A and B are shown apart, each in its own frame.
Chain A
């Protein structure tokens, strides 16, 4: 039988589990309120993390094009410096 601290480790490190391992995890979460809450919190973190990163990684097409041009320009200069 796994203890709460071991269950928490399984959940947070996203270990791939065998069928029996998954069953044991499920059973523990049914019986243990605290680990169940922990597991729900981690699920919330996963979802909100995704949303938050999607928000900050929004890029503007014009800006990206501008950046691509700058990159190409500097690659050209670089090549000319060391023939």
Chain B
């Protein structure tokens, strides 16, 4: 995302929309569309579906702009809409995030004393298997939207924890759980695929 344009305030945007000040709205759209498209692709939405999703996000943005609070950034607000739309697209509801089968998979990896019962594969083999990115991208595609978004914001955008929590609408503790699940899902998935290719 480019930061060369100064951020418009919500009031400026609402006014521009009311007064049909297209140059301001064009500036806004130009400032955030690349970011939205990249985010959509990062969440696993591809091709025309990604373009439609971005259009959809903007259309919702202008519908709900009155509710936009000055204390949250436009970027955060837009990303929040994008995540909700992607969840809808994937027919994923927030409740499905409460229980994740990965938790019991991880439990089985340890004995009752908390020691490894099924230890992890050696990292050299693991690295070799992920070298082509094919395996990992297959595994990433299996992640729930929230986990994928959390991991992407955390690892790639290096966003502030508080901002990520706001976007995902979760507490800091929840965010830890989400990251834990995302990484362990990927780890298990990569191990299974690596062993299958042996």
A interface vs B, CB < 8 Å? 3-6, 8-9, 12-15, 34-35, 37-38, 40-42, 44-46, 48-57, 59, 64, 67-68, 70-72, 74-76, 78-79
Contact = CB atoms under 8 A, between A and B. Distances in A.
Given A3-B113, A41-B187, A56-B137, A14 B176 contact: yes
Interface of A, secondary structure class, is helix
A52 B136 contact: yes
Given A37-B123, A71-B58, A76-B22, A4 B37 contact: no
A54 B156 CA distance: 9
Interface in B76-134: 106, 109-110, 113-116, 119-123, 126-127, 130, 133
- Would you list the 6 A-B pairs with minimal beta carbon distance, nearest first? A3-B114, A13-B176, A40-B123, A13-B180, A34-B119, A12-B180
Interface string B13-45: 000010010100110011001100111011010
A72 B122 CA distance: 52
20 contacts: A4-B115, A5-B110, A5-B114, A8-B106, A12-B183, A13-B180, A37-B122, A41-B120, A45-B130, A45-B186, A49-B136, A49-B140, A50-B155, A52-B136, A54-B156, A56-B42, A59-B37, A72-B25, A75-B59, A78-B59
A68 B30 contact: yes
B29 to A, nearest CB: 5
A56 B37 CA distance: 11
Contacts of B46: 56
B179 interface: yes
A58 B146 CA distance: 22
A5 to B, nearest CB: 4
A22 B49 CA distance: 44
Contacts of B179: 12-14
Given A41-B123, A71-B29, A76-B22, A52 B137 contact: yes
A78 B12 CA distance: 18
Given A34-B116, A59-B34, A14 B154 contact: yes
